[in-house]
Structure 1
Amino acid sequence: MPEASALRGLTEETVRALAERWYAALDRHDDLDEMKTFVVDDGLVMRFPEGTFRGHVGFAKWYVAVSHRFFDEEHKVTGTRVVVDGSEARVHVRVNWQARMWNPPSARSEWLGFDARQTWTVVAGHSGPTPLIKTYICNALEPMPGSAAL
């Protein structure tokens, strides 16, 4: 008999698929309401170098800021380690992020390239099999050679 977490959709495979869908949506700059479907509201914590954001209100503040600042984004997951423990999964994600940014009134945009290490906590979705991000911590952001600074 499958574990209860697998019955609710919380498996290594569904968590890895969540990460791939998340980054593809970030690259497309999907609508804010669509992006909220990836994360819990109650208890959401997202920590980045620029600050810590909580719940859907904090998430919206972060997402609007980054989707207006960065463009031509490409995220490539270079590694994931998923440990499912009951109703939660701890996820270690490595992702290469490349983008362009424009700082007005500069005449040109700048290229950004970073390798990021992140730790997520993912929980089973309440109304379906899709897992949701509960905590999203950027542990390290290492610039690639030639990258502009953030």
Structure 2
Amino acid sequence: MLTQESIQAFVADWYKKLDVHAPMVEVLPLLADAELECVFPEVTVYGYAGFESWYQRVIRTFFDEVHTVTKAEADIQGDTATVDVVVQWEASVWSAPDASSKRINADAYQTWSLKAGPDGSPILTKYVVDDFVPREGSATL
């Protein structure tokens, strides 16, 4: 059964894994393969294969990532939940032949859909980036 506590822990674990570029074997158990839809600013992906393609590109592009959750409010309806998430994302990016990397600092406004997995813990079924707002002084993507 989904609870506010289990969802808060899930959100924290999700971003910790993104920050450290966790291997896919650690990320896949958090996702619902057949139902998964992820709407990112640059692409929409489906299922494990689509997510892995996106994830592998991202972890090879950005480094020194820090995700700071500023909001994670869940509306739980039985074994599903809709979560309103706001995260401040900071990351460095280097593009050849630039002499140095650039720092991105932005707020991402997101809507997640979760369901209870077989053991009752949350599993991500839909991840939508609703808006992406660079902070003052941020490099552009």
**Superposition TM-score, scaled by structure 1 size:** 0.92
After TM superposition, give the deviation of residue 145 of structure 1 in Å: 0.7
For 2:9, give the aligned amino acid.
A
Q: State the 1:142 CA deviation.
A: 0.3
Q: Which residue number corresponds to residue 23 of structure 1?
A: 15
Distance 1:13 1:42 in 2: 26
Superposition deviation, residue 130 in structure 1:
1.9
- The match for 2:132 is 141
Structure 2 spans left out of the alignment, 5+ residues = none
| Residue correspondence of structure 1 range 99-114 to structure 2 within 5 A | 99-114=91-106
Instruction: Give CA deviations for 1:69-124 in whole Å, capped at 9, x if unaligned.
Output: 00000000001110101221000001000010011121111000001110000000
Rg (Cα) greater in structure: 1
Superposed CA RMSD: 0.8
User: For residues 86 and 129 of structure 1, what CA distance do their matches in structure 2 show?
Assistant: 11
TM superposition outliers: structure 1 runs of 4+ over 2 Å:
none
Deviation of the 1:34 alpha carbon: 1.0
Return the alpha-carbon distance in structure 1 between the equivalents of residues 29 and 97 of structure 2.
Answer: 35
- Whole-Å Cα distance in 2 between the matches of residues 105 and 36 of structure 1? 34
Cα displacement (A) at 1:129: 2.9
Write the distance in 2 (CA, Å) between the matches of 1:125 and 1:11: 13
Alignment of 1:91 onto 2:77: no
Q: What is the count of residue pairs matched by the alignment? A: 141
Distance 1:117 1:79 in 2: 9
Matches for 1:1-150 after TM superposition, within 5 Å: 6=1, 10-126=2-118, 128-150=119-141
> Percent of counterpart pairs with the same letter?
38
Distance across 2 between alignment mates of 1:140 and 1:110:
21
CA shift digits 1:35-70 (9 cap, x unpaired): 111111011000011100100000000100101100
1:21 match: secondary structure: helix
